[in-house]
Amino acid sequence: MKRIKVGLIGCGTIGARLAEVITQEIEGMDLVAVSDLVEEKAMNLVSRLSSGITIKSIEEIAGGVDLVIEAASARIVPEVVISAISKKKDVLIMSTGGLLERLDLLESARQQGVHIFLPSGAIAGLDGLKAANSAQITSVCLRTSKPPAGLKGAPFIVEHGIDLDNISQPKMIFRGNAIEAARGFPANINVAATLSLAGIGPARTKVEIVADPNLTRNVHEIEAEGDFGRIVTRCENLPAPSNPRTSYLAVLSAIALLKEMTDSVRIGT
């Protein structure tokens, strides 16, 4: 199998861990370039890893690589995908919420033969949902429950003046579709985006967000119904060691996807 050269955008919680795994654990994959808005973060990461990794700008990163990994911000996702498609490079996107208003890019990638990889992130059940999508799915609902502090600063909370400090029992604070959820909770809701793209699309995927003061973990529950029957999943996520806003399972799902790319055995849909 041909070795895969990787360029990484974003050297934070997810990016730094993926960089370590690529350089230390994945046979057949080489990290050749990294980029970060904060150059010091890129420099720190490179100095910790093996030599031969260069620091580049986002515009330059797709040159000389086979795969671009975005682990930075939803805002730059369209730019990253457009650049990857124009250079015929595959791309793995972590900030999947950034794709919701640019679904045309998925079609462009298909037409150009470019792969876009979207890890499952912090949820379970995408395997079954993808299989179910080969027949009719009638409904998909994601209920995300978080400790109130985990929702602070989200545009929906700010716009509606929701006082998260005085919530004493579980409270449903948002109900809408995945597009509305991505706008209102851009830093929290990549799972809704990924779920909707794997299932019945962002307009039909329902999202509920609950602020629950009894929780110490972020909980994602999925309920889907269709010709196949019914799927119910529940993930109780621990945070990643260096970022309380990122679930550790999301980091692990990207690692698993990268490992699968270099493995000739593929398990699950």
Residues with catalytic function: 220
**Beta-bridge mates of residue 34:** 8, 55
Q: Which residue's CB is nearer to ligand NAD, number 74 or number 173?
A: 74
Cβ at position 97, least distance to ligand NAD in Å: 7
Cβ at position 119, least distance to ligand NAD in Å: 6
Q: Which residue's CB is nearer to ligand NAD, number 74 or number 258?
A: 74
Q: Quick one: angle between helices 13-24 and 39-48, nearest 10?
A: 30
Cβ at position 38, least distance to ligand NAD in Å: 4
Cβ at position 229, least distance to ligand NAD in Å: 26
Binding site for ligand NAD (CB under 6 A): 9-15, 35-38, 41, 58, 71-74, 76, 94-96, 119, 121-122, 187, 190-191, 194, 243, 246, 250
Residue number closest to ligand NAD, CB atom: 12
Q: Which residue's CB is nearer to ligand NAD, number 41 or number 206?
A: 41
Cβ-based burial of 193 (10 A; exposed 0-12, middle 13-18, buried ≥19): buried
Nearest 10 degrees: Cα torsion 260, 252, 38, 79: 50
Side-chain-side CA neighbours of residue 194 (13 Å): 27
**Beta-bridge mates of residue 143:** 208, 221
Q: Which residue's CB is nearer to ligand NAD, number 154 or number 226?
A: 154
Cβ at position 82, least distance to ligand NAD in Å: 14
Q: Which residue has the tokens 């079954």?
A: 128
Q: Which residue's CB is nearer to ligand NAD, number 226 or number 249?
A: 249
Q: Are 122 and 194 in contact (CB under 8 A)?
A: no
Q: Are 84 and 90 in contact (CB under 8 A)?
A: yes
Nearest CA-CA partner of 255 in 73, 87, 20: 20
